[in-house]
Amino acid sequence: MQPKCYSVIIAGGKGTRFWPLSRSQRPKQLLKILGRRSLISETASRVLSISGRKQTLVVTVAEQLNALRKELQRLPRRNFLAEPYGKNTAPCIGLAALEVVAKNPGAVMVILPADHWVADINGFRNTIGAAVEIAMRQDSLVTIGIRPNYPETGYGYIMKGKSLGGKTAAYQVKRFREKPSVSMARQLIRQGSLWNSGIFVWKASLLLELMQRYQPTIARGLEQIKKAARGKSLGAPSPQIRNIVAREYKKMPNISIDYAVLEKAGSEGKVIAIEADFGWSDVGSWAAVHRMLPHDENGNAGNGKWLALGAKNSLIHAEDRLVVLLGVEDTVVVDTPDALLVGDIRRSQEVRELVDQLKKKGYGAYTIK
């Protein structure tokens, strides 16, 4: 365990693509779609050996705060920071950086989305350990790049520059490429490009410095919050501080850390990618869940009580009831107490639009705010 290392779990997402399982009060990171524990619980377990429970923070939105505190009871109450509402990842990570710097001005922060999946925990730990060492040693932003195993078009790619040498596979980042076409994705893979995992490691103070340079509006907001907090924790803040956070959030742009800071720092040679292969997925859709679960001899996978007769390549999420498939293929069935989805699993990216449709058709009560 690194004394100057903090983990920051980013847990503000809704997970619309996991409807009907995901709801306002049950976002993706709280779902048990890959086993007996929620995604965020698995994520917390992965980082506790790196940063310890006292140095593991969670940033979320106010409406999820209680549910997450309940889910992660091992963590101290003050380690949960609440945004008034989601403004993408840049303001969120800025807020966490303020908190880390207040606790330890020289500390490194490891930023991890709450809802990802990792197969090889030891490989993951080794990679993060190496990234922390690099981030301690030099003033660079470190991002974890995953060796791709198929031309996914939904991810961002990292184009590698020159190797840093040493025993860690670390490279200067040449350029970021967001969501390429299939042919471009193939080309990027041939060139050795990596998937951008969204797992970042850097000194909190460096991030705040770069925010001032690239995102002065966010930096000004953070400065106001810091002044109001006067060194106190932003976890469980006073009503006055909460009001100031809300006031400053209103002014901040809705922007991802990738666009806000990483791309700009990358073009100035300040980003390093560590190449890793620990079995990673962002668990982006029911189709991704189907890929990750163990299959029967016909390619069917599922949770709960289910039976597949003559069915193929299908995914079943059952809760209290028995689900029986007869002769269907490439079908996803998600059974919840008040709503049921039966879909073509190859169209599971469209679940997001489906939720919009539900709202328009008067079924808003079944959806996500």
Residue with tokens 């002065």: 216
- Tell which positions 95-124 bind its own copies, by CB under 8 A: none
Name which of 45, 49, 103 is nearest 235 in CA terms: 103
Distance separating alpha carbons of residues 185 and 86, to the nearest angstrom: 30
Distance separating alpha carbons of residues 265 and 66, to the nearest angstrom: 36
338 near its own copies, rule: CB under 8 A: yes
The torsion defined by the Cα of 323, 331, 279 and 284, in degrees rounded to 10, comes to -100
Q: In the complex with its own copies, which residue's Cβ is closer, 220 or 312?
A: 312
Instruction: Name which position in 119, 182, 246, 309 contacts its own copies (CB under 8 A).
Output: 309
363 near its own copies, rule: CB under 8 A: yes
Q: Which pairs with CB-CB distance under 8 Å and at least 24 residues apart come from 24-28?
A: 24/63, 24/368, 24/369, 25/67, 26/67, 27/64, 28/115, 28/283
Distance separating alpha carbons of residues 119 and 247, to the nearest angstrom: 41
Distance separating alpha carbons of residues 154 and 291, to the nearest angstrom: 15
Q: In the complex with its own copies, which residue's Cβ is closer, 1 or 326?
A: 326
Two structure tokens written together for 187: 């080309």
Q: In the complex with its own copies, which residue's Cβ is closer, 246 or 309?
A: 309
304 near its own copies, rule: CB under 8 A: no
The torsion defined by the Cα of 254, 258, 264 and 269, in degrees rounded to 10, comes to 160
Work out how close the CB of 181 gets to its own copies at its nearest, in angstroms, rounded to a whole number.
23
Instruction: Name which position in 138, 267, 321, 364 contacts its own copies (CB under 8 A).
Output: 321
Name which of 115, 93, 112, 31 is nearest 261 in CA terms: 93
Q: In the complex with its own copies, which residue's Cβ is closer, 100 or 318?
A: 318
Q: In the complex with its own copies, which residue's Cβ is closer, 149 or 357?
A: 357
Binding characters for its own copies, 340-359, by CB under 8 A (x = yes): xxxxx-xx--xx--x--xx-
Instruction: Name which position in 209, 307, 313, 352 contacts its own copies (CB under 8 A).
Output: 307
Work out how close the CB of 227 gets to its own copies at its nearest, in angstroms, rounded to a whole number.
49
Residues near its own copies, by CB under 8 A: 20, 305, 307, 309-310, 318, 320-328, 331, 333, 335, 337-344, 346-347, 350-351, 354, 357-358, 361, 363, 366
